[in-house]
Structures are given as structure tokens and as C-alpha cells.
Amino acid sequence: MFTLTAREDMTDWQAILVDATTPPAYVRRNQMSLDPTAEYKVVIFARNNPAITRPIARITNIAKTGTTTATVTTDVPHGLSVDSTISIYGVLDLTNFPNLTTAVQVASVVNSTTFTCVIGAAVTATSQGGSVILQDGSTVPSGTFLNFGIKNISRTNGITLVDVGATASGLTAGEKVYLHGLQGALTQYEGLYKVYAVNTPANSFQLIGLTGDQSANYTLTATGGSIMKACDYRIHSGTINTFSRQAIELAAYTPAVSESMPVYMTINPSVLTTETTLITPTLSALTSAATTNATSVKTTGGTIYNIVASNTGAAAAYLKLYNKASAPTVGTDIPVHTCVIPAGGNYLFDSTR
């Protein structure tokens, strides 16, 4: 089983073995940007499982002699062995050789084109037509083989009429079917058809051929044969989502408030706040002399809010800050910060800005 997930900017592809317990094979393609103006199509390449349930031969003769075991003769080598699992559909005499909707095992192999199996009641009867279907380890999908047998078949003006001898059901107009197991010269009319009408007339399907020459008419002929629904592959599930890139363009820039566009924010960010008590700073002022001017401003820990300094001298002056509980020893203690005050200039520090 395969799954394909296509998104706007990446695709995921998985290959999963049926009934497997191992992780699936997985491929992802991302960092892709599709062109929103282009049209894209999904292309799927598929092939049949070699063990798929399928018709392997037409029945040219089928007979029972007072038992439930029938001897079946096929038009080509059947390739079966004892205990091969098969179904039989579409024998002309459905009363004595009913469709095997439940598979049976081959009882014996007489030769390459003859085998025996149990089918229907114990009677003495002979018929022809229909298909031998090998169930090679797989299950027949429900409704694939219709529970009918083709009684008669004819074609007029391109419309093939298939008489099934009972109320036709299981198909709707427009579906595709495959005819198999026709007899003799009628095998040329096997192939792919599209359903045109159901039960018009009663007990029949009207079909339109999709392969071969459909121009020749032929009259109603008794044959036998099976009807199978046709499909290219089966999709078990699917989800299609549409994505679109939306662009919002504002009008040309204008400073006019009357032509502006209001914007409302819907984001609710989380903000961590710490509530503190309002502090009144302590003021310290000093007019420096022609010395180092070592001064203790505060003897405990604190915060510097503002510094305002001016230099009226002809050379640069230096304001040095120390982290000490007493007046510093200039030239010995190391300042944590030095402010340069240019000659005739000012220095300003404001932590509130």
C-alpha cells in the first residue's frame, strides 16, 4: 500500500507492506516552494501484484455424472495443481454449475487442460462457457466478478447487448467492465466495455466497446461468459486539501491619517515583570580642587542614575568610579569605570534614557 501526502512546501511518500509489522519505507522532500500560478498533476505509476486473483482460462466444456465433482476442460493450459484455489464464473448452465462465489480447491489434475473440482449439486449435466479464476493467495475484491453468467450476446449499431437471464444489478452507467469466457468465434468480442444502460431491456446490460472493431453487428448467440468490473488500480482512501497563498497589499504610502489603515494586534505575549518600591536617589556634588579629589559617595551597594560633570580647564580631566565602601586610594585602587571630560567640555550620563 502506498500513501502520498502533498503539502504546500513538502511531500511525504510511504510504502507499506500489507499486514506488515515493520516500519514503512519513508521518503520526505521539503524546502520546496510550488509556483502558485502553475497547474500541477499527480501522476501515479502502478503495476499488478504477480499473485493477483485473475482469470487464467476459458471453459470449453464442464460436465458432471451424478456427482458434485465436475470435470473442467479449458482452452489453454491451466497451470493448476492439486489444492490450487480457484473460482468459476459464467458457465452457460448456472443452474447445475453455479458461480463459485466462495473459492474451492482443485480436486485433481487430469492433464494440462483438464482438472476436477466440486461445484453445485450432484447431477448429470454438461455445459460450456465461463472463466476459471485463480486465487493465488489473494482475496477477490468485493463485487469484482458479477454473480451472473452471460446467456446471450449480440451487437446492433455499436451497442452490445448482454443477456444475463436475471435482473441485472451491480453496475451503473459509465462503469467499465471486462467480458471473458465467451465461446468459439465469440472470443473476439471479449475485452473492455463501458456500461451504457442497465436492465434496458430487462435482464440485460447495454455496453459500448472500448477496444477492437465495434462496427460489425451480430445476432443473439448463446455463449456463457463472465463479467468483471475493470479498473486501473484501487485507492483505499484519499484526502485532498487545497492551499492558497494569500497576499495583502496596502495602498500606496501616504502620510495622511485619514487614508491610513488601522491594525489590531491579537497576539497576547507573556511579559515577566518585577514590582519594586520607588527609590529617591541621593545627591552628591563636588567641586574639585587641584588634587586627586578622592571622595566616598556611598558606603553601601547602590545604583548610579545620573552623572553630570564639566571641565573648565585647558586640559582633559578624568572622573574615575570605584566600587568601595570608603574613599579610594588613587593610584593604588583600580577604578571600575573612567569618564573622560574634554577641556572646556561636559560629560553626561543618564540611566533613565
Tens digits of residue pLDDT in 270-302? 555 555 566 677 888 888 887 888 888 888 888
Output the pLDDT for position 250. 53
- Residue 300 is predicted with a pLDDT of 86
pLDDT confidence bin for 137, thresholds 50/70/90 = low
Res. 32 pLDDT band, cuts 50 70 90: low
Segment 93-120, tens digit of pLDDT: 999 999 998 889 999 999 999 999 999 9
Instruction: Indicate the domain borders of the chain.
Output: 1-45, 54-134, 152-229, 306-350
What is the reported pLDDT for 132?
95
**What does the pLDDT look like over 141-181, one tens digit per residue?**
566 888 889 999 999 988 999 999 999 888 888 889 999 99
Model confidence over 298-349: pLDDT tens digits? 888 888 878 888 888 888 888 888 888 898 988 888 888 888 888 888 888 7
Q: Are 115 and 135 in contact (CB under 8 A)?
A: no
SS3 content of the chain, % helix, strand, coil (to 5): 5, 35, 60
Equal fold, 54-134 vs 152-229: yes
Whether 248 shows a pLDDT value over 80: the answer reads: no
Residues 102 and 81 sit within 8 Å (Cβ to Cβ)? no
% pLDDT > 90, the chain: 31
CATH of domain 54-134: 2.40.30.180
- Taking the CA atoms of 44, 50, 51 and 55 in sequence, report the sign of the dihedral they define: positive
| Residue the block writes with cell 501522476 | 43
Residues 124, 71: Cα–Cα separation, whole Å: 12
Between the alpha carbon of residue 24 and those of residues 17, 21, 132, the distances in Å are 7, 9, 35
Q: Which residues in the chain belong to E strands, given as ranges?
A: 2-6, 11-15, 25-29, 54-74, 85-89, 104-105, 108-111, 114-127, 131-134, 152-156, 159-163, 176-180, 191-198, 204-209, 218-222, 226-229, 306-310, 317-321, 337-341, 346-350
Assign 131 to helix, strand or coil: strand
Mean pLDDT of 43-54: 72
Which residues are within 8 A (CB) of 130 and not within 5 positions of it... i.e. 6 or more apart? 58, 59, 62, 88, 89, 90, 91, 92, 97, 149, 181, 224, 225, 226
- Does the domain spanning 152-229 belong to CATH 2.40.30? yes
